[in-house]
Amino acid sequence: MSGRPWIKLATTKIDDARLAMCSDAAQRDYLMLYMLAGRLDADGLFIENGRQLSDDEIAFKIRVKASRLKASIGEMKKSRLIHINGKGPQIMDWQNEQVDMNKKRERDREYQRKHRAVRPDSEDVRPDSEDVRPDSERVAPLEESQIRRESLLLLSPAQRELITSKHPHWMDDAEKIAKAKGKPRPQYIAGIIKNWIVEGRRKPRQPQRGAVKKPAQKQPVLTGAARDKALKAARSLVEKSE
């Protein structure tokens, strides 16, 4: 019987007055008995393969003489660390301090059964839909959220507060602009938002419905006598103003 590979040994044992009242030999034997009980895994009893171990067998397993074990068990019984019942000595704190392995195994089996019911075979799991977008437009949601987090970290606390409280849509708009320009990087997105905060965000002019844009008229170029006449008229206006 392999028993438990490990046991729980609480650090409060250092301050346990019952253990402190025992001799050094009894304290050592108690810890050895505790580990032996874990190997046997019989609820703190010393039963192996359905048979109660004798005092000589227990003494042999913890590497002490039977006479010493008898004296140590007497001290432990007096300190209420061990009690003797119809099945031999039993560690009193065992059931309160140790995990019930049978219940644990049952919980593990139930968890595995439910897990297999949800996903019977990992190879049978298929995505609901295939992403047919080109590689340049295919961005994982986790990557997009990471870009947003890093963009916000590049802003000052006051700027982050302004964006999250008053202009939450600015982040979406900045990401769209950066993606359209092929620069979906946190530094570029944060730079757009900082410019908007400092310079103000200007809305693009929307053309009026039905309006026809007129071609720009070219200004006439004066040459020769016409240019001299215009310069003379300009000088006379300046002289009058003075």
Number of residues that make up the chain:
242
In angstroms, the CA 230 to CA 160 distance is: 59
Q: Which residue has the higher pLDDT, 4 or 122?
A: 4
pLDDT digits (tens, 9 = 90+) for 1-49: 467 888 888 888 889 999 999 999 999 999 999 999 999 988 899 999 9
- Give me the pLDDT at residue 148, please: 82
Q: Domain boundaries in the chain?
A: 11-97, 141-199
59 with 65: CB under 8 angstroms?
Answer: yes
Return all residues near 49 (Cβ < 8 A) that are at least 6 apart.
1
Return all residues near 229 (Cβ < 8 A) that are at least 6 apart.
none
pLDDT digits (tens, 9 = 90+) for 184-238: 888 888 888 888 888 777 765 555 665 566 666 666 666 677 777 777 777 777 6
Range name among 27-36, 43-52, 112-121, 123-132 with the lowest pLDDT average: 123-132
In angstroms, the CA 40 to CA 123 distance is: 41
Q: Which has the closest alpha carbon to 34: 67, 50, 51, 16? A: 16
38 with 7: CB under 8 angstroms?
Answer: yes
Q: Which residue has the higher pLDDT, 87 or 214?
A: 87
Judge: domain 11-97, CATH 1.10.10.10: yes
The three-class DSSP label of residue 83 is: strand
DSSP 124-182: G---SS---S-TTT---HHHHHHHHHHHHHTS-HHHHHHHHHT-THHHHHHHHHHHHTT
- Give me the pLDDT at residue 182, please: 85
Q: How confident is the model at residue 124 (pLDDT cuts 50, 70, 90)?
A: very low
CA distances to 31, 50, 217 from 95, in Å: 16, 19, 99
